[in-house]
Chains A and B, each alone.
Chain A
Amino acid sequence: MSRLVMFSVVYLLCFNVFGQNSANNEDVIDSIDRGVIIYEDFCMNCHLVDGEGVKNVIPPLAASDFLMKKRSESLKVVKFGQSGKMVVNGKTYNGSMAAMGLTNQEIADVMNYITNSFGNSNAIKFTEQEVLKIEK
């Protein structure tokens, strides 16, 4: 939880630097708060508490190039699940993740959390509408 508070502060600072409006910031903070709960419920078992994943088996979310650079592919993984090879930070993983059955809003929330935690930082908020548009 302290990590979240720290993150929130850093996040707000970043946003102010980049000149986003503060109403939007509050939205994001709320979404991230909800995202923490989703993460603990559905993701943490495998990706672990600091998003480090499991060596050779579960790809990391922490400082993950896949998560941070492949926005729509990452959304697709969370929305529809994924199996087969994927490359994360130069390492190939050949496992799978089942779709968790989350709502579009829940997916946006957890994406806002994981892309702004574990050393990641993302200035473009995920929304329910963005998740809705992602297709298989």
Chain B
Amino acid sequence: MKSFKFFLLIFITVNYSACAQQVDSEIKAEEPIGVNYTTELIIDELSIPWGMAFLPDGSLLITEKSGELIHFKNNERVTISGLPEVYNRGQGGLLDVIIHPKFSENGWIYFSYASQEGDGDGGNTAIMRAKLDGNTLIDKQVLYKAEPNTTKGQHFGSRLVFDNEGFLYFSVGDRGNRDENPQDITRDCGKIYRLNDDGTVPNDNPFISEPNAKTAIYSYGHRNPQGMFKHPETGEIWTHEHGPQGGDEINIIQKGLNYGWPKISYGINYSGTTLTENTALPGMEQPLFYWVPSIAPSGFAIISSDKYPEWKGDLLVGSLKFQYLERLVLENNKVVKREKLFEGLGRVRNVVQAPDGYIYVSIENLGIVKIVPKS
């Protein structure tokens, strides 16, 4: 009887551990109470408005994933011509767009897109800069093209940000090859990259003297970062990334560090099986916050303007999955509260704080809304 019990115990233990156990995020997303703001539809009839860049004249560049670059000026939309060929498959397409910090002087526009350039079937993430001449792109330069091409549909990453020193950061997701890409610095994908504004590699990049390394890599061990901003006070680059089932993360990017994917994760496989036994390992960074269950985060902003006094310093993250804008309140870089804003408007693809201080949110199959005080 005793040995039966023993075997039963082993049996239960084995079964139990075969099914991955997940602990929900300690801080849960709450329904908002007494929100003083509402949304105002600025541009309608957009499908998947992936990127938004505000120009100094108050006009707005919008990327549609399908491959269209729209210039919205004086309430009119113009389609920009002269784009590179965009590989529109799965999660790939025309993705983020930003302008150079000195755009008024040099006119450079930067954007990310899935490209079939190079050897092999399929595509991978590319970064281009160009200038606007009327309604046409000119002076196009491909600054980076991740390799190898693959017909996989996932994880192009693609958010773009400049830091205070004028370096360009961008993300490339693991492209559906988590076992080979993210932990290997001689391969692209599953990385945050840093370049000079002209596409050359800064000579103090972390892996500049590593043999065979992709020297544009700044940090590695990422899955699919689709949110990135520069912190207005510290100048740090903050990102979030999609986890698998559970385990979306917020990270502060530091030079040369390994963020762990897929060796460590708070997520499990979509099938419910264990992906990794480890949520922490030496030499790998812990996230600032992780989401279980996943919200499928896209777009990332921090409120630094004076337009929303009670939200100042809070983070905003779009949720593709639950179709709301999440507000996260921080205390000493720790998330202490989460709130669901504007639930039901649609899949939130991007959120930015514009130069006018207002927050603009792009929503799939709706358009772009501005967050304004309730009148």
Q: Residues of A at under 8 Å CB distance from B?
A: 40-42, 44-45, 48-49, 54, 57, 83, 95-96, 98-102
Contacts and interface: CB of A to CB of B under 8 A. Distances in A.
Contacts of A95: 346-347, 365
A42 B87 CA distance: 15
Given A49-B272, A96-B47, A96-B364, 6 more contacts: A41-B153, A41-B176, A49-B270, A100-B89, A100-B153, A101-B88
Contact of A98 (B48, B152, B271, B296): B48
Contacts of A101: 87-90, 92, 153
A57 B296 CA distance: 14
A104 to B, nearest CB: 14
A49 B321 CA distance: 15
Contacts of A100: 89-90, 153
Contact of B152 (A41, A57, A102): A41
B154 interface: yes
Interface of B: 47-48, 65-66, 87-90, 92, 152-154, 176, 270-272, 296, 321, 323, 346-347, 364-365
A77 to B, nearest CB: 15
A102 B272 CA distance: 27
A99 B87 CA distance: 12
27 contacts: A41-B90, A41-B152, A41-B153, A41-B154, A41-B176, A42-B90, A42-B153, A44-B270, A45-B154, A48-B270, A49-B270, A49-B271, A54-B321, A83-B365, A95-B365, A96-B364, A96-B365, A98-B47, A98-B48, A99-B88, A100-B89, A100-B90, A100-B153, A101-B87, A101-B90, A101-B92, A102-B89
Given A42-B153, A54-B321, A83 B47 contact: yes
Contacts, number: 40
A57 B323 CA distance: 9
A82 B271 CA distance: 27
A27 B307 CA distance: 62
A48 B176 CA distance: 16
A98 B94 CA distance: 13
A43 to B, nearest CB: 9
Nearest to A102: B89
B292 to A, nearest CB: 16
A99 B67 CA distance: 13
B319 to A, nearest CB: 11
Nearest to A98: B48
* Top-10 shortest CB links A-B: A101-B89, A42-B153, A41-B153, A96-B365, A49-B270, A101-B88, A49-B271, A42-B90, A83-B365, A100-B90
B90 to A, nearest CB: 5
Contacts of A44: 270
Contacts of B364: 96
A109 B47 CA distance: 27
A98 B88 CA distance: 10
Nearest to A1: B271
A57 B153 CA distance: 22
Contacts of B321: 54
Contacts of B153: 41-42, 100-101
Contacts of B65: 98
Contacts of B152: 41
Nearest to A106: B151
Contacts of B271: 49
Nearest to B48: A98
